[in-house]
Structure formats: structure tokens, C-alpha cells
A and B are shown apart, each in its own frame.
Chain A
């Protein structure tokens, strides 16, 4: 029988990025005893990578902004598949969450009159992103981390959860292992908050780190919770493409917010060529107007580079496919051209985009103040995730909550830049609050050690196959390559079916994977375990993508290239069937409240 280190908490938060930290803080404020699980060290989670800013209708830069406009922008960006209640709460509460960060020590850039400065971003009608140069995520996670340091929160660093545990229908805790020694940990918890982020490692070109293996998605799914919108994966239009080893690393949308433009190898600014109907009224007619918009002219409309990410990413793919791409298979993103407009452009760029300047200088020998960058789409974010109640963030499993990227609903078919950082604050806070409340009403759950023992046995299998099968890295690599090719930005029925076949074969290989060495800090073993989650979410993404026979937001079907109004009224919901099969269903979106409908009409 395996030995466990046992921990007992009212609320167990799995994941310590922005959403997890904010949830843990809120649960601790509510008086709950809180455990916080970090897959890495504290403060290294993916939030650290967020660059552009946090969206909140503070109206510090443009007083026409308010929650209603932010709500309407979010719904338009999500192509109306959003959980409208979440979009409403998010737009209303984001300003308070941002101001609260300032009270905890965040130092945002300022307006001339000393208030929080806001910048333009794709899909946002007014300058709305509070920011700190281009390292907003670092500032945010450090603020939350430092604040949490002084709260009664038990932090379990470098700990990975392999399974949730249940007591009958409700959640009872989780089983994990610590990386350092490979010891198993048994957590008893009255409520569990998933804040594990996304699934980017299912694809080969991604801005996501090794941690992003869909753990929370798979944990929830295996525990019987419903997922939704899993066909909607966001491919960020601008990732680095050269040199090969940095392919996929994010280039912030802030570059375009500050006036950066996209051009093909002929020097043509191709984004003016195709402007979607529902954004025509909000898009600049000419380059001059677009430039004025980025410089804060309230009468100007946004340049087409600041259309939503799904649209910009597809426009780039089109240029490359039709032979007008850059030498390494991307297009050019140029901010250096603003020297024609600003006398001190080099200093200005370094001040506004310091980490981009640094990143290109160091990794690609390119001085972005003098020459264009080469960029192309990179897997960045998953809109889909655990299906939750909009107010409480509780999933369909009692006591299991989800917040941040692993939750679904706020972003619909496509997320606007900047809405992720605000998402994790608003719904991290809500999840923490309602998880603590839920925990307060529950008795301590009963942990079924048999459940845990079984999981441990499965988790240790790769060691027992020593010398037998192949290592986990090759299987992971092949999975990523396959998903990129067959379930990537442009999808087709026959390709998705081929992907499902390929997944069966990969699953067989994964079952035979063996690892060497012992349990102490063994990345081969960790990869073998993460691989199971990657296989699960990859199949879910493929099944959902097959079901949505239209093109909308982050999901583009070559065989159904148009948006279909018949597909506008439902979310695709995924559950685990009794025999372990993936069950796909279409579930209607509840009718929107009349007052919210009016807001959308008024902001058309």
C-alpha cells in the first residue's frame, strides 16, 4: 500500500497563476483554511507571460467608456456564444478588481493627471487596458503572490495533481505528487477550485510552457464535470517565427496597439483588404486614421490590425498560403515605421515595449526600433473549459469550481486581448468566495483510499515497464505535430477524423511508454503523466471541432467557411460517458435578459 503525506483544507486551489492566487486570497479572507497547489515554483505560472494589460472600463483615458461598452465588446468578440451573465459580471466588476490590485501594491503606468493609464487593444472600442509597459502579467502575479505571502495559505510548490477524489457525487479532495521526491500527497478538501490554465502543449507551435497540458480540463472531465466550447482554441496572430527554437513565443498585441502594422513581403498592408461586416463601422478607412487612433484621437477608428485575434490570425495564414509571406513563413510586423511620425521613436518604442525590444534583440538579433519583426500565429489560449455557473463558478460537480482559463463561458468563440487578466481577477475572486461558502456548509468528506491507491498504481506504471516501450517525449512530440496539422487553425471534416484515428494510435503508444531513473525530480515520468491529460483534451477538442459545422471565432472549418446562424444558439458540451467515451451534445444558450439585449443593440 502506498504511503501518503496527508493534508486537510476547507478549500483546495489547484493552480497558482492569477486566478488561483486570487481565489486563494478570497477564500482565506472568508475565513476558510486554504491549500494552494503550484505545478512550478510560486510566481512562475503563465500569468507572468501576459504582456499587454488588464481590460477594465475605468474610463480614465476616454470618458465614453463604461461597463456596458465593455460588455458589448466582449459579446461581439465572442460571437455571442458567451455566457452573457459572466460577460456582464466581468464588465461590471473588472474596474474594482483592478483598483484593488493598486491597493495591494501594483504600480500601473499613469495618465498625466496621475490616474491609471489605459491603452488600445484589439476588439476594445476605447483604450481600456491598464498596463505596466509590456510586462503587466509579471506585475500582477507578483502583487498577488506578495499579498498571498502574508495570508494564512498553505502553499504546496512543485506539486502536480493527478486525480480529483469524490465522496459519492460531491468533491472530496485530490491526489498529487511532489516533484522533488516523488511522494504522493492526499488532500482532503470540502471544495476544490481548478485554476490550472490551458491546453497549449497539445500543439507544436505555442506560446505556452510545459505546464499547459490541460490538467484541469482532464481532471474535471474525469471527475464527471461537463466541459464546453472546447472547439474554440485561440491562435494568437503574432508569435515569433525565427529562429526555429523560439517559434511560438508571444509578440504582444501591444505592438499593434502602439501603432505597429502588418505587411506582407510585397510591403502591402494587407489587413485593409478584408474587414468583417460586423466591425466595418468601427474600423479606420485609411492608414492615417488608423495611426491617429493609436495615438489617442477620439474621433478616429481603430486600424484593421486591431481587429479580433481570430480574424487577424486567419488573414496572416492567407498571406502565407498564397505566397506573400516572409522568408520564414510568417508576415512582417513593423513598429519601426513610426519614426516617420515621431522624432524620438526609438526611445518611445523601448519605453512602451521594453520586453519586446529585449526579446527580439537577444533571441533573434533584431532591433525592433529599426527593422520589422517576422511573426505568425501561435497557439495561445483555449476559450473552452469547465462549464460553470456564471455567478458562483461552480461546475456540474458539487464542490468543484473553476476560474480563469480552465473555466469556460466568458469569452465565447473568441477572447479579446486583455480580457484574460480581468477574467482571472473577477472570477478568481468569485470562485474563492463561493468555494469558501460552499465549504462552510459541508462536513469533512470521506476519502476513499482505494480510489487513491488505484490512481497511484496507474501513475507508477511507466517505471514498471523499464526497458520495454519508448520514452514519453517522442509520443508527446508526435501528438503535438499531429494536432497542429490536423486540428490547427484551419480544420476540415476528413482531417479531424484522421486526427481521431491518430489519437487512438498515440493512446496505444502512451500506454506502453516507459521511463528510467527514480521518482525524484524526474521530468520523463512527469511528461508520461502529463501526456495522459494531453491525449484526453486533444480528443475532446477534436470531437467538438467535428461537431461545429461552421466557422466562428477561433474555430475555422475549410469545409464550412461561413458563420451559420443555426449554430449561434448552442454551446457544444462534452461529458465523459459511462464507458469512458467522449459524449458530445448541443445545449441551448439561455435567452439573454432584455436590458442586456438593448445594450448590445445600442452599441452595434
Chain B
């Protein structure tokens, strides 16, 4: 039964697939121009490269083709070519994107396609920038620290619902596009004062991790500089993993900082009750606390 309807489905999709390749046969290849940033360190210029493009290509394919044909020393980072490693971040027609996940069919090829490095980071060469500040910033957030195991065999019990909540943040591929658009970093260069959206997502997954027992509100306020974020949500818009960075990660963290440092009543309660509850609490509970309206 299943097989019969399946056979029909397959036949239909075979026709669709064939149709796709037929349409492409007519317009097999065309010329397109890519206006690529070339330069070492802070100096450089946009240079035009013309190359043949065909259906299904992504911008990274075009860059590789230019590399193979004319500009063998054109510097670009890439690895997985499937949107999973976050290496090939750049600005395409001014928009922060992954080169490997931006199809040419999304772009107007009648005009040159501009490809530039992420502008929030110190330039190294061509499309490559120095993103090492992001790796250093991670050390400013204390490491994962679990509660003692739940079972005698040293394992824990967690509910899928609690796991789902942090998995949104753990999807992050560290492409640093969110850091690239954050005006605190991009325009004000406060890399040493503000860890930026990527690291706030990292902090959020730790703070809402079902097993973690640390309270990182102090370091988020001080060395993390969470107060610099004024919730313009640009980071959320460019995230290729569609993580709701501002609403789900940053705002709940800000609320915790406010609760702890700027709420006199809460301060009093904590003084009376001591810090015990805070240290012993499970973070599943803390997560829902942060999100509750």
C-alpha cells in the first residue's frame, strides 16, 4: 500500500527533478562579476572578477573558481561547505552571511556581487579576519560545572523539555556573524569590555543548562559587559542557525543581572536567606525563571 503511493510520488518527483535540470540546460552558464575585497592588513581595495556561474552555485563556489582561474592567492576561510562549521563568514552585498549557504539565485547577478570580509574584526588578508578575540572572550565566562550525579552509576537524569531549551543555544556554529553586526563591537570596538552576542549565547546555555550550578551574573555584568547591549536585535537577524539570540538568550540574562544587582527587595531577601538556595538550585528551574513573563 505504502509502496504504491510511494512509486507514484517517486515518479512525480523524478519528473520535477528532470524538469529542473531541463530548465537549467537552457541557461546552463552565464558570466557574473564579483567585486572582491583584496588587501593585506588595513589597506586594500575592491577588485572585479568575472567568472562563469551555473545553477545551484553558492558564493563560495564562485570564490573558489576565481581562486583557481585568476587569483590563486585569494585568501578565504572555509571547511565544511554545508553551513555546519561557521568558517566562511563574510559580507555579501553588505549583508553578513555564510559564503557556503548563499546561493547565487538569491542575488541580482546583473550587478556585481560585492564580497567583503567581516568588518568588525581586524583584517588579515582579503576575506580573512582576525577572530581570535572571540576565543579569548570565552575564558572570561566560567566553565561548565555540573551538580553531583543523580544516579549511583555517576549519570544524570534530564527531561527532554529541559534539554530542548539549551539545545537552541548549543546549535551555535561560532561563525561570529552576530559579533560582526553588533554595533558595540563593530562601531565602538569595545571587544575588551563586551563579550558580544556569541558569548552571551554561550553564557545562556551554561546558565540554563539543566546540570550547571554556577551563577554567572556577576561576571556577565562586570567582565562580560552585558549592560552594553541595548537590544537592537541585529544579531538575531543575521544568525544562520536562527537562534533567537536577543529574546531567548540575552534578555533573560539581563533580567537575572537586574534581579540580582538592581532589585532592593530581592537583595534583602537574599541577605536574610543567605546564598544557599542559589548555589544548590537546578538550572532547569532557573531557565524557566528567566523566561517567565
Contact = CB atoms under 8 A, between A and B. Distances in A.
A240 to B, nearest CB: 9
A371 to B, nearest CB: 5
A523 B157 contact: no
A139 B144 CA distance: 14
Contact of B73 (A115, A243, A337, A524): A524
A285 to B, nearest CB: 15
A471 B68 contact: yes
B80 A209 contact: yes
A521 B72 contact: no
Contact of A99 (B10, B14, B154): B154
Contact of A105 (B54, B81, B209): B209
A267 B7 contact: yes
A346 B34 CA distance: 38
Interface stretch (A40-48, A400-408, A576-584): A40-48
Interface stretch (B55-63, B226-234, B268-276): B55-63
Given A517-B72, A523-B72, A525-B73, A135 B56 contact: no
Most buried by B among A49, A99, A105, A520: A105
Contacts of B128: 180, 521
A243 B174 CA distance: 27
A253 to B, nearest CB: 16
A135 B167 CA distance: 10
Interface string B278-290: 0000000000000
Contacts of A135: 84, 171
Interface in A44-65: 44-46, 48-49
Contacts of B85: 44, 48-49, 209
Contacts of A359: 82-83
B50 interface: no
B43 interface: no
B77 interface: yes
Given A109-B163, A340-B2, A372-B9, A327 B21 contact: yes
Nearest to A358: B83
A150 B73 contact: no
B116 interface: no
Interface string A82-120: 000000000000000001001111011110011110000
B155 A99 contact: yes
A327 B139 contact: no
A102 B156 contact: yes
B18 interface: yes
Given A180-B124, A242-B56, A362-B101, A41 B87 contact: yes
Contacts, number: 222
Interface in A494-548: 515-518, 520-525
Contacts of B139: 149-150
A364 B10 contact: no
Nearest to A141: B85
Interface string A239-274: 000111110011000000000010101111100000
A327 B80 contact: no
Interface in A307-346: 326-328, 332, 334, 336-337, 340-341
B46 interface: no
Contacts of A105: 144, 146, 206, 209, 211-212
Contacts of B73: 515-518, 522-525
Given A138-B173, A471-B68, A374 B79 contact: no
A243 B10 contact: no
Contacts of B174: 43, 142
Contacts of A524: 67, 72-73
Nearest to B128: A521
Contacts of B20: 242
Contacts of A46: 79-80
B275 to A, nearest CB: 24
Contacts of B224: none
B158 A133 contact: no
A363 interface: yes
A147 B77 CA distance: 25
Across the A-B interface, the 8 shortest Cβ-Cβ residue pairs: A243-B56, A267-B7, A517-B73, A114-B157, A524-B72, A105-B144, A521-B75, A473-B68
Interface of A: 40-46, 48-49, 99, 102-105, 107-110, 113-116, 132-133, 135, 138-139, 142, 146-147, 149-150, 157, 180, 209-211, 242-246, 249-250, 261, 263, 265-269, 287, 326-328, 332, 334, 336-337, 340-341, 355, 358-359, 362-364, 371-372, 374, 471-474, 477, 515-518, 520-525
18 contacts: A48-B84, A48-B173, A49-B84, A108-B163, A109-B160, A138-B170, A157-B135, A211-B79, A242-B17, A266-B7, A267-B10, A327-B17, A332-B14, A337-B2, A362-B101, A371-B13, A371-B16, A523-B76
